[in-house]
Amino acid sequence: MLPDALRERAARVKLLALDVDGVLTDGRLHYGPEGEATKVFDVKDGLGLRLLRDEGIAIAIVSAKRSTMLERRLADLKISDACLGREDKRVALDEVRARANASLDEVCFVGDDVLDLPVLRVVGLAATPADGHALVRREVPWVLQACGGRGAVREVCDALLEARGRLEAAVETLLATR
């Protein structure tokens, strides 16, 4: 649930930037018998991202890690703006922000761990999943009700659309095109 004090900031967001592990996933890695790692993504998050994109809000991924399965998921979601394998997330954010023509104040970033703090500290709207690291939860203004990989991204997407008064209209538009 978006706190009322953040509603105005949420209405200004032009770019939603996301960390991956612990945000789009629950942060766990599952290893198969051949040593291959797998991650689990929540389909509700994917639908929320589609609703945002259809409403003209840019989406970008900023992650210190790179993986084939992540690239596959981003392709499935039609997210083409991704800075993967980038240790300096602040620099990566500036790159995606420039492509989206968004000021720092117009960016919502969702991160879950201390490596995300340099970005969370400078954006207009910072959020962390309910199971984000304690230091992050203490520092950001918006602690989500959902956990990473379990609807946290959908919660953000819905709140951003609701702040613009567009959630129901976005859903109806989606349903009309099916």
Structure tokens at 132: 């984000």
- Predicted TM-score (pTM) of the model is 0.95
CATH homologous superfamily for 6-176? HAD superfamily/HAD-like (3.40.50.1000)
Beta-strand ranges (E) seen in 10-103 are 15-18, 30-31, 37-38, 58-63, 82-84
Say which residues have a Cβ less than 8 Å from residue 177's Cβ, sequence separation at least 6. none
| Whole-number Cα distances in Å, 9 to 2, 51, 121, 141 | 10, 19, 15, 11
- pLDDT per residue of the chain (178 residues) written in tens, 0 to 9: 788 899 999 999 999 999 999 999 998 888 888 888 888 899 999 999 999 999 999 999 999 988 888 899 999 999 999 999 998 999 999 999 999 999 999 999 999 999 999 999 999 999 999 999 999 999 999 999 999 999 999 999 999 999 999 999 999 999 998 7
Question: CA–CA separation, 62 vs 81, rounded Å?
Answer: 9
